[in-house]
Amino acid sequence: MHRFIVLLSVAAFSFLLFPGCGSDRAGDEIGTVRGNEFPEYYTVRNSEVFTMAGVNGPEDQSSFPERSKTSWKNYESGSIARLAILLTDTASSWLGLAHGLKTIGVPFIITDNYQRALQHKVVLVYPIVSGASLSTDALQALAAFPRNGGTLIGTQVLGALNEVFGFSEATPSRQHFEIIVNNDSSDIVKEFTDNKEVRISLGDKEKFKETIGTYSYTKNILPPIATYEDKSAAIARRYYEKGKAYALGFDIGYMILKGQNVRHENWNRAEANDFEPGMDVLLRLLKNIYKDDEPDAAFACTVPYNKELSVIITHNINYKHALDKSLELARLEKAAGIRSSYFIQTKYIRDRQKAIFSSAKDFEKIGELAALGMDLQSNSVSGSYYFDQFEQGSGSEVYPAYKPYVLAFEKTYAGSIYGEMRVSRFLIDKFAKTTNALAFRSAYQYTPFTYPQSLLSSGYRFGSTIPANMALTHFPVQLTYSREYDQEIDAFEFPITDDDELPPFDATLRTQKALELADRIARYGGCYIGQVHPSAKGWQVEKEFISKMKNRGWFGTLGDFGLWWTARNAVSIDVRREGDKRIVFVNVPKRMEGLALMMPLRSTPIAVEGGGAHSIDGKLIIFEIAEGPIRITLDN
């Protein structure tokens, strides 16, 4: 992502390597860098643009999809075997919770009817439990639920049911910068052993006086599942003869969207190339509660063929030498049976950063990469550090009329968000001939607020710009309109796990660190997206990494994994009773390979109808190719 630029002073160079990664820069008052004066306009000379004769496009017009809030009613259908979310505020951040549960594979329904919710065995009340948000009848029914054997999860329990959840009072605070999991207290948290799992960051106390609002619970009947750094309870619990009650002292949906939209203030403890699973831990905790207390819990696995880890190797082709070396690397990969993703910066203007494509032969290399079976995606046109500050553009930008000119590190003329996305995609598709660019990656880690809908309206379905550490997750992220909280977009971000433009630069150390990080993410079926330079050292690291992980990981391109993840995101699972049998009904709207389904505990599939060729290993079913309705009969 980052690129070394000789124009920078030593101070600016340090900023390039380690830019601030709290709130995204987009929208901040950073417009003009003090101490530098640039002409208001710059006219690009014909000699500074390489133009391919007869190449002009794209022909289509880009425009944003309609602005329309996503309704929670889109998620109201499903069997009683699902987790039930009882929504007490329709204007809340419920979309973050919904996207998180889909990611982790937990089937759920959303309802505002407490009677409907209480038909399920596990109920999550979101975002507030109080006398102001629930009727007297609803509160009484919820109070009886765990006493009668159900599992009740409350978020921000602010009165009326405190005793049900096993505490006395809820105390508000903006001074809690960490959630600490007590991994000795319960089976549902014993898997969290890594220090980054046990200690979930909510901000940098050295840089900020306050963080998000949370509640702590006092005078707990049982030791809490998790505390804040001041030892007050962050997750309270109470066990009944058959039922259970858990109280979360924070808005989990809001927190998930904070990470996915990169709108937090330094919650991540490292810039990149490290483990930051905070939101993953909270989702895994909910999954563990659901799985333990719903005997009909079934899941779609997070990795194709139920491998331990999804691995996507990518290469940024963002300077001339990288383009020249890309074919050499692609041939080595093909000989080794590897397909990787090449993010190509289609820079055809000779500005202060020099052109990458300056001849017809350069453009022909795109076709040669495609012919070698590589996955070709976009890395923008200009490579400007200030892409997130560009104007949106008209949506009619075309090659070669689009002429973004990078005069200096902090100054680019005539760049637009649409231009960077549309024109780069057009050129890659034009010269690849056999592929369509589905993914976009900015030259740097910052994205504009309009990034999600710009991707979609420019013909992309995926982005891969944000470091996983900044997204606070090692899973793909479904994007939301303008990186806000109320409208989902049919596009996904695939956060970058490891970037070899950051230290360590020694090949042996780089490989060791990459493997250690992959091993931590593989413990729960996460996603590892590596960025490797097309060089001899890059190939050495890549080859060694694949050799060590090939039996544990699923390896593929970003395009392939993006399509797989999109299809998995649409899979629905319901368990229903027919006589004395349990039947698992699965619907796979989009054809996909390697769908892995985990059946409920203490069950064995005895019949599978639909879904095509498959294998069964205990409770696990793996389909070679799945599409449409699937009916699975269990043994009891």
On whether the 570-634 domain is CATH 3.40.720, my answer is no
* Segment 625-635, tens digit of pLDDT: 999 999 999 99
Q: Would you state the torsion angle of the CA atoms of residues 446, 449, 452, 454, taken in this order, to the nearest 10 degrees? A: -100
Separation CA 414–CA 527 (nearest Å)? 36
Query: In which band, very low, low, confident or very high, does the pLDDT at 334 lie, cut at 50, 70 and 90?
Result: very high
- Between 1 and 584, the higher pLDDT residue: 584
Cα 340-423-448 angle, rounded to 5 deg? 85
Burial classification of residue 586, based on how many CB atoms lie within 10 Å of its CB (0-12 exposed, 13-18 middle, 19 or more buried): buried
State the average pLDDT over residues 462-483.
Answer: 98
Tell me what pLDDT residue 7 has: 32
pLDDT at 17 over 90: no
Query: In which band, very low, low, confident or very high, does the pLDDT at 176 lie, cut at 50, 70 and 90?
Result: very high
Amino acid at 610: G
Token pair recorded at residue 224: 């809490």
State the average pLDDT over residues 137-152.
Answer: 98
Separation CA 269–CA 260 (nearest Å)? 16
pLDDT at 518 over 80: yes
CB atoms within 10 A of CB 293: 19
Say which CATH class 304-564 falls into.
alpha beta
State the average pLDDT over residues 236-259.
Answer: 98
Between 11-15, 309-313, 357-361, 571-575, the lowest mean confidence (pLDDT) is in: 11-15
User: Does a cis peptide bond (omega within 30 degrees of 0) precede residue 534?
Assistant: no
3 state SS of 364: helix
Between 65-74, 246-255, 497-506, the lowest mean confidence (pLDDT) is in: 497-506
Separation CA 553–CA 317 (nearest Å)? 25
pLDDT at 89 over 50: yes
State the average pLDDT over residues 423-440.
Answer: 95
Tell me what pLDDT residue 185 has: 67
Tell me what pLDDT residue 401 has: 98
State the average pLDDT over residues 285-294.
Answer: 98
Tell me what pLDDT residue 636 has: 73
* Segment 213-246, tens digit of pLDDT: 999 999 999 999 999 999 999 999 999 999 999 9
State the average pLDDT over residues 282-286.
Answer: 98
* Segment 50-59, tens digit of pLDDT: 999 999 999 9
* Segment 95-109, tens digit of pLDDT: 999 999 999 999 999
- pTM for this entry: 0.94
* Segment 177-212, tens digit of pLDDT: 999 999 876 789 999 999 999 999 999 999 999 999
Tell me what pLDDT residue 24 has: 45
Tell me what pLDDT residue 36 has: 72
- Domain residue extents for the chain: 72-299, 304-564, 570-634
State the average pLDDT over residues 166-172.
Answer: 98
Query: In which band, very low, low, confident or very high, does the pLDDT at 414 lie, cut at 50, 70 and 90?
Result: very high
- Between 256 and 24, the higher pLDDT residue: 256
Domains 72-299 and 570-634 alike in fold: no
Separation CA 179–CA 636 (nearest Å)? 41
pLDDT at 28 over 50: no
pLDDT at 22 over 60: no
Tell me what pLDDT residue 146 has: 98
State the average pLDDT over residues 441-455.
Answer: 96
Contacts of 592 (CB under 8 A, 6+ apart): 563, 564, 567, 568, 625, 626, 627
CATH level 3 topology of 72-299: Rossmann fold (3.40.50)
pLDDT at 584 over 80: yes
What are the two backbone dihedrals, phi and then psi, of residue 469, each rounded to the nearest 5 degrees?
A: -60, -35
